[in-house]
Amino acid sequence: MSLFRRTSEGPTPLRSRWRFLPIAVLTAGVIVLAAVLYLIFVGLERDTWQIRSEYRDNVPWYANQIERELLVFVQKLDSYHMGDGGVTRDDVTERFDVFWSRIYSADAGNVGNIYIRFEGAEALLDEARRALRDIEQTVASLKPDDAIAHHLIKARLEGLSERFHRISLMASHQQNQEMTLHFDRMAQAHNMLMMIFAGVLTGGAILIGLILVEIRQIGALRDSLEQRVRDRTRDLRDEIAQRQQAGEALQKSEARFRDFAGAASDWFWELGPDLRFSYLSERFEQSTGISPQQVLGKHHDEVSRPDTRDDVWIGHVEDMNAQRQFRDFRLVHMRDDGTTVHVSLSGTPHLDEAGRFSGFRGTGTNITEQVEAERALRRSEERYRRLVDLSPDGILIHAQENIVFANPAAVRFLGARHSDDLIGRNLLELIDPKHHKATKLHFKEILARGREQPQIEQILVGLDGRSFPVHSASTRLPREGARTILTVFRDISRVARIDDSSRSAS
Amino acid sequence: MTSESQNMLILGWARRIVPGLILLVLSALWLGAGPLAPRPAAAQDLGVPEARVILTISGRIDRTNAKGVAEFDRAMLEAMPFTTIETMTPWTDGVARFEGPLARDLMKRVGARGSRLLATALNDYAVEIPMEDFEKYPVILAMKMNGKVLHTRTKGPLWVIYPWSDQANLRNETGYSRSIWQIKELAIKK
């Protein structure tokens, strides 16, 4: 049995309802016990007070004294008459006066009021007072040998003694009855107190036993709770350690991400669900020179001037509307000073906790220098292409002796109609077989040493069968391939004919 | 004999007699302080009753006016300062006004040296009263009640009255039992 409900398992409504029942029962018991004890002690106090009143008033003694004074007076009277004991008339009158005082004050005061209520007491006192007044003069003038006076006095008092004695007995009897009643009630109260005392002792012992059991159970519960607390503390410590490790890993991951993102991009940006810029990191302005206030809250097409008919732009709009990830979408921002900034944006859609689309997040990179470099490269390529196309010398690019490029001069010299007639063809097919060996050695030197070799003279054979001498110079193009070689050749047949003519003329 | 020789003779006699006279006078004084000297006159302090004796105090007292006792008639007691107590008693109706000498004054007057006294009434009822009651409370030997002299027929001539109405702790059987009336004798005990 448990005095108190366990709380570790959580109170149920039923338990909550009866939770304070033991305390309520104990409280009610204590109140009832206190009330009973109060009533008992009030009764005891009342009986004690009444017993003390009985002793204090001592009405039986009071009544007995009246009777006794009468008897003593009569005794003195007889002794005076008989001449015994040296009793004088003063002694007789003194006893008469004492008896007189008893009779005349018998009904006075609290004690007298009790005395007078006894049956016949009032009439007896009246009778005694009349008798005393009747014999007063006789007593005052009484002589020892006055037998008649003596007889008259005694005759007048005759019968009073028995009546006073009867009242004295009534007073004693009544006091005995009342005392018996008081003592019976006190005995009952005493017995009840003993029973209560025994009950309290028994109940106290039971309560102490229950409390000891409860203390033991609470101790066990406390040990269990302490164990749970220790386990939970250990779990929490482990969890904290894990979280700390996870946090450190997260910090490392974030740092790594920042490093990667920073290396791959210049700034971060966010678009809201309305596809307007809602966030730009600080580096945006540093990188582009454009104030974020010019961009935030605007669409892509408001911060740049796209060609809405461009396929790239149309594809980008479709990606965004379809909430698809996009990469390297290029925009051109206008600065306040009229200059432009080329940026590359990569983004991915993000969702809120409810899974709803909430915009795009991504990175941006200033690619202005890259765009300008590309443009410059394209311009340079154009210039070189034109230079190659307009060159009077034949230019061939061949990999492992297979031709991959031929400029118009080479096409023309080698009797082809189009460069495609030459591309894919083995260069050795266009060289006089007498020079094959020297040519292969020459190309090998070029590939091995990696630098230009002195011009050589060769005899080329065109597709039309025409052979003509050329001066050629070759160099390796490492960026085009491991064995790619650029060869520039010049038809020297006209020079050779001039030389032959000069020698003939001379 | 010349006058000068006569003078010398007288001086010689004087020198012999004077020391003896001095010794004689001192002896007489020493003896006179004993049985021959008059004792303190206690009777003269208390006075001597001239009427019927109503109270006799005996026992351990320093002052007497009779054979080992102090006797008082009404006049002697009425000559002492009276103290008034208004109180209810179990034997009188309503509040009664009692007058009489303080018991402690009477004890001082007779030089009482006891711790208790035994009071005896005319009807030989006797009760013992601690002397400390007289010091703690203004207990009187009442000689008048409601202005009337107390006689034997009205519980006089002397009635021990405590201030019951003023002292609740006296309103018990012990306190009332010491209220003895018609006193005739007080015996001072150790």
Pick the last residue of a domain from A158, A176, A198: A158
Nearest chain A residue to B175, by CA = A56
Instruction: Output the pLDDT for position A365.
Output: 87
Cβ of A101 and B89 within 8 Å? Answer: no
Helix (H/G/I), strand (E/B), else coil: B122: coil
Do A409 and A357 share a domain, yes or no? no
CATH number of domain containing A330: 3.30.450.20
Q: Say which amino acid occupies A383.
A: R
Partners of B155 on chain A (C-beta within 8 Å) are 101, 105
The answer to whether the beta carbons of residues A458 and A435 sit under 8 Å apart is: yes
Please give the DSSP secondary-structure letter assigned to residue B112. B
User: What is the spatial distance between Cα A138 and Cα A393, in angstroms, rounded to a whole number?
Assistant: 198
How big is chain A by its Cα radius of gyration, in Å? 73
Residue A251 within any structural domain of the chain:
no
Residue A482, chain B, CB below 8 Å: the answer is no
pLDDT along chain A (506 residues), means of 10: 50 66 87 91 89 84 93 94 89 95 94 94 96 96 93 95 95 91 90 90 89 90 90 88 84 73 76 89 86 86 80 85 87 82 88 87 88 88 88 88 90 91 90 89 82 80 90 80 82 78 67
Q: What element of type H or E holds A361?
A: strand A357-366
Q: What is the pLDDT of residues B49-74, one digit of tens each?
A: 999 999 999 999 999 999 999 999 99
Q: How many residues does chain B have?
A: 190
Structure tokens at A100: 């007189």
Residue A39 within any structural domain of the chain:
no
The verdict on whether omega for the bond into residue B130 sits within 30 degrees of 0, i.e. cis, is no
User: What is the spatial distance between Cα A347 and Cα B151, in angstroms, rounded to a whole number?
Assistant: 134
Residue A164 within any structural domain of the chain:
no
Instruction: Output the pLDDT for position A481.
Output: 67
Task: Name residues 98-137 of chain A within 8 A of B (Cβ).
Answer: 98, 100-101, 104-105, 108-112
Cβ of A68 and B153 within 8 Å? Answer: no
Partners of B123 on chain A (C-beta within 8 Å) are 65, 68-69, 72, 95, 98
The pTM of the full predicted model, rounded to 2 decimals, is 0.51
Nearest chain B residue to A54, by CA = B173
Per the structure, the complete domain to which residue A68 belongs is given by 58-158
Which regions in chain B score pLDDT beneath 70?
1-44
Instruction: Output the pLDDT for position A52.
Output: 82
Least CB–CB distance from A69: residue in B90, B123, B155: B123
User: What is the spatial distance between Cα A441 and Cα A439, in angstroms, rounded to a whole number?
Assistant: 5
Residue A246, Cβ neighbours under 10 Å: how many? 12
DSSP codes joined into one string, A248-284? HHHHHHHHHHHHHHHHH-SEEEEE-TTS-EEEE-THH
User: What is the spatial distance between Cα B120 and Cα B178, in angstroms, rounded to a whole number?
Assistant: 11
Best interface-test mutation with A: which of B123, B158, B161 has the largest number of A CBs within 10 A?
B123
User: What is the spatial distance between Cα A3 and Cα A25, in angstroms, rounded to a whole number?
Assistant: 11
Cβ of A57 and B90 within 8 Å? Answer: yes
Cβ of B89 and A52 within 8 Å? Answer: no
Pick the last residue of a domain from A118, A138, A158: A158
Do A397 and A498 share a domain, yes or no? yes
Q: What is the CATH number of domain B42-189?
A: 3.90.420.10
Q: What is the pLDDT of residues B111-120, one digit of tens each?
A: 999 999 999 9
Best interface-test mutation with A: which of B173, B182, B185 has the largest number of A CBs within 10 A?
B173
Q: What is the pLDDT of residues A449-477, one digit of tens each?
A: 776 677 888 899 999 988 999 998 888 88
Instruction: Output the pLDDT for position A261.
Output: 65
Q: Say which amino acid occupies B2.
A: T
Partners of A97 on chain B (C-beta within 8 Å) are 151-153
Distance from CA of A194 to the nearest CA of B (A): 29
Cβ of B154 and A101 within 8 Å? Answer: yes
Least CB–CB distance from A104: residue in B92, B123, B153: B153
Q: Report in angstroms the alpha-carbon separations of A270 from A258, A306, A324.
A: 16, 20, 15
Q: What element of type H or E holds B177?
A: helix B173-177
Instruction: Output the pLDDT for position A13.
Output: 55
Partners of A105 on chain B (C-beta within 8 Å) are 91-92, 154-155
Closest-CA residue to A456 (of A433, A483, A474): A474
Least CB–CB distance from B173: residue in A52, A94, A101: A52
Question: Long-range contacts for A463-470 (Cβ within 8 Å, ≥24 apart)?
Answer: A463/A414, A463/A415, A463/A416, A463/A421, A463/A422, A463/A430, A464/A415, A465/A415, A466/A415, A467/A432, A468/A413, A468/A492, A468/A493, A469/A493, A469/A496, A470/A394, A470/A413
Distance from CA of A187 to the nearest CA of B (A): 23
User: What is the spatial distance between Cα A311 and Cα B46, in angstroms, rounded to a whole number?
Assistant: 153
Helix (H/G/I), strand (E/B), else coil: A241: helix
Residue A275 within any structural domain of the chain:
yes
Domain count, chain A: 3
ipTM, 2 dp? 0.74
